[in-house]
Structure 1
Amino acid sequence: MQADLSPVIAATAQWLTRAFPASGGALASALCEVQARQAVTVAAWLRYPTAMDAALLGVAGPGGSGRLDWVTGADAVLDDDTDAYAWRTWVDEVVASWAACLLTDPELAARAVAALAGASHSTGTRAEFRRLVTPDDSDRSAAALLRHPDLLAPVAGLHQDQLLDRLNPGRTLIA
């Protein structure tokens, strides 16, 4: 049984970087991809905190990018060549939504990384996720679309409450 989250992390990060591509050349693309991968990794580790959770995901599957494509309008530009888009079946909608939340809110990203401390996946140190938590000007410039709160709002809003519940269990909502 597969307990590895790497297929989901890779596919979900790829979906984010295709939906919100880098601004610039090859270096910008690489910086954008690193930020997406860091956000998706933190989100996946929060969503699937144990090896058993990851193994169950491997059995049930993550659900694919269908709803995300619809929310962003990408479903209109996808062609009928399903083999070219097989990786999209490994996209996890909740992980993509949580990653979008982390990319647009540095304080939330820092809290999410701190919540990983002592988790089974990682030591959760800030150094592992520097480009997510404390991006510099070149990071921000490269991922201008990927970090734009208005552009990511439809994706982030899908499961933001679940992320906030995970990071603040038992919080009370103020209306």
Structure 2
Amino acid sequence: MQADLSPVIAATAQWLTRAFPATGGALASALCEVQARQAATVAAWLRYPTAMDAALLGLAGPGGSARLDWITGADAAPDEDEDAHAWRSWVDEVVASWAAGLLTDPDLAARAVAALAEGGHGTGSPAEFRRLVAPDAGDRGAAALLRHPDLLAPVAELHRPQLLDRLGPGHTLTA
């Protein structure tokens, strides 16, 4: 796979961890970030399964975080320096929505990781995404807000039907 989705994955994971921050110190913050990054990676790989899909994303752009900020109430905070928040333009709303759904539904996360084996992004091995698929007590504690179904519901529900369609029976990802 030649297409680079890393800017979208990084920005979307950053948005998730800022909107639903870790509860605890530096270790909790790192564990929360890893879970957000794994969820955003799986979601991005499902959303853009081919190099052509990723290339089209590069041309059209991911859309930014404005609607997500509005839904979560983060748009009320004034931006001191617009350049410091340029990463927000790389947030993909669908990827964030799908990642939120994966973070709040372990069965859905397991189905999504299994579906990656069909695509061209990687093995989709559960071990590769252990903190997403099988978080331990420390992972869940660190990301209590990030994994809270009620808090993430407004984001997760935005594009849930498309995620379920993507993971539905008979649908395969092509590389």
Q: How far apart are residue 70 of structure 1 and its match?
A: 0.2
CA distance in 2 between partners of 1:5 and 1:73 (Å) = 27
Cα shift readout 1:105-135 (whole Å, capped 9, x = no counterpart) = 0000000000011311001100000000000
Hey, which bits of structure 1, 4+ residues long, moved more than 3 A? none
Q: Any idea what SS the aligned residue of 2:158 has?
A: helix
Structure-2 residue corresponding to 1:92: 92
CA distance in 2 between partners of 1:12 and 1:69 (Å) = 12
Contiguous gaps of at least 5 residues in structure 1: none
Q: How far apart are residue 84 of structure 1 and its match?
A: 1.2
Whichever residue aligns with residue 19 of structure 1, its letter is A
CA distance in 1 between partners of 2:23 and 2:4 (Å) = 31
Structure-2 residue corresponding to 1:162: 162
Structure-1 residue corresponding to 2:55: 55
Q: How many residues align?
A: 170
Q: How far apart are residue 169 of structure 1 and its match?
A: 5.1
Structure-1 residue corresponding to 2:104: 104
Alignment of 1:62-141 (within 5 A): 62-141=62-141
CA distance in 2 between partners of 1:166 and 1:152 (Å) = 20
Whichever residue aligns with residue 9 of structure 2, its letter is I
Q: How far apart are residue 3 of structure 1 and its match?
A: 2.1
Q: Any idea what SS the aligned residue of 1:49 has?
A: coil
User: What fraction of aligned residue pairs are identical, expressed as a percent?
Assistant: 84
Contiguous gaps of at least 5 residues in structure 2: none
CA distance in 2 between partners of 1:124 and 1:76 (Å) = 38
- What is the Cα-based RMSD across aligned positions, in Å? 1.4
Q: How far apart are residue 170 of structure 1 and its match?
A: 7.2
Structure-2 residue corresponding to 1:153: 153
Whichever residue aligns with residue 101 of structure 2, its letter is C
Q: Any idea what SS the aligned residue of 2:102 has?
A: helix
Whichever residue aligns with residue 127 of structure 2, its letter is A
